[in-house]
Chain A
Amino acid sequence: MDAQLKKGLLEACVLAALTQEESYGYKLIADISPYIEISESTLYPILKRLESTGSVTTRTRAHNGRLRKYFMITDFGRNKLREFITDLDELGRVYNFIYRAGR
């Protein structure tokens, strides 16, 4: 898949995975992988970007004697996800246009 397109999709995927509850690195990859290929090295910059733009916040919790970083979606993040869903509608129309032309 095109890299730029994938990057945007992955950000939205992470946000989507966080809407119901907080999550952490391993779990995010496990939850998203069935839908789109996501590797550890790909996830890192996405999480970093989401955090620095305020879409997610983090906190560290102890788990089995070690530290784990948990990610939570913010209201700002929820807005971003809503915006992306609006984009998806447009994307759907473009998709149909291309799909029909390509067959």
Chain B
Amino acid sequence: MTKYEWESDLKQRIRRLPESEINRVLDYYGELFDDKIERGATEREVIAEFGNPRDAAEKILYEYYADADRYEESPRRERRAEPRRDVREPKREERGKGYEPRYEERQKTRVEETTGVRGWMILPAIILGAVAVTLTAALWGVLIAVCAGGAACALGGTVGFVPSGFMIFDNLAIALVQFAACFAVLAVGVVLLKLTPKFGRVCVGATRGMFRGISNMLTKKKKVTYYEG
């Protein structure tokens, strides 16, 4: 096994860890590798001394997830790197000279870069896009209906109070019924109008999701972290 193969194997096994941790591991083994080579070992000998990448990965993962119940890791989603909360940061009085905050707290910028286009996805993307656009348009249609209906009911209900008022002098019973009806219509209008912004958010979310989904289908992206210092 070459150094490159060994490192690639290890990297593959710990790929779920945050990028900062992966880099730290690779730096560690890279440094040890260079030190051994400097003292006359061959690449083959060093890799043999390193042992099986599987064992190395096991130890790394075991230590990282030592407090496993604090980490709800979904294997499919990439987790944001967070400083370990189970470990106590030494208090000011306890810190020795030259204390440095943990790796994770260094300044960093995360950037998502587009690395290419998936040409073969264009046709499926068009088909899916058509379906998505139709569904999303339907959602917006419902939104408009709810909004318009709500407005109409609210307006109608409010306006209806006026003739009902005059009705009192004519026929009290009918007037009261009419009042009640106007209230009901007004209430329906208010409910529909209250639902409108909530439903609006759903529509916006769906539209945004649709665009993002098509974009993700068509492009290849890579997350890159830049460190300061």
Q: Which residues of A contact B (CB under 8 A)?
A: 24-26, 29, 39-42, 44-45, 47-49, 51-54, 57-59, 64, 66-69, 72-79
Q: Is A77 within 8 A of B96, CB to CB? A: yes
Chain B proximity of A11: nearest CB distance (Å): 12
User: Inter-chain contact count A-B, CB under 8 Å?
Assistant: 93
* Known pairs A44-B25, A45-B59, A57-B96; A26 contacts B88 (CB<8 A): no
B29 closest partner in A (C-beta): A40
Q: Which residues of B contact A (CB under 8 A)?
A: 24-25, 27-29, 31-32, 34-36, 38-39, 49-51, 55-56, 59-60, 62-63, 84, 87-90, 94-100, 102
- Among A39, A45, A48, A52, which residue has its beta carbon within 8 angstroms of that of B51? A39
A25 to B98, CA, bound (A): 19
A54 to B63, CA, bound (A): 16
B34 closest partner in A (C-beta): A66
| Residues of A contacting B: mostly | helix
A66 to B33, CA, bound (A): 12
Q: Is A40 within 8 A of B99, CB to CB? A: no
Q: Is B102 within 8 A of A52, CB to CB? A: yes
B56 closest partner in A (C-beta): A41
A75 closest partner in B (C-beta): B96
A residues in contact with B59, CB < 8 Å? 41-42, 44-45
B residues in contact with A59, CB < 8 Å? 98, 100
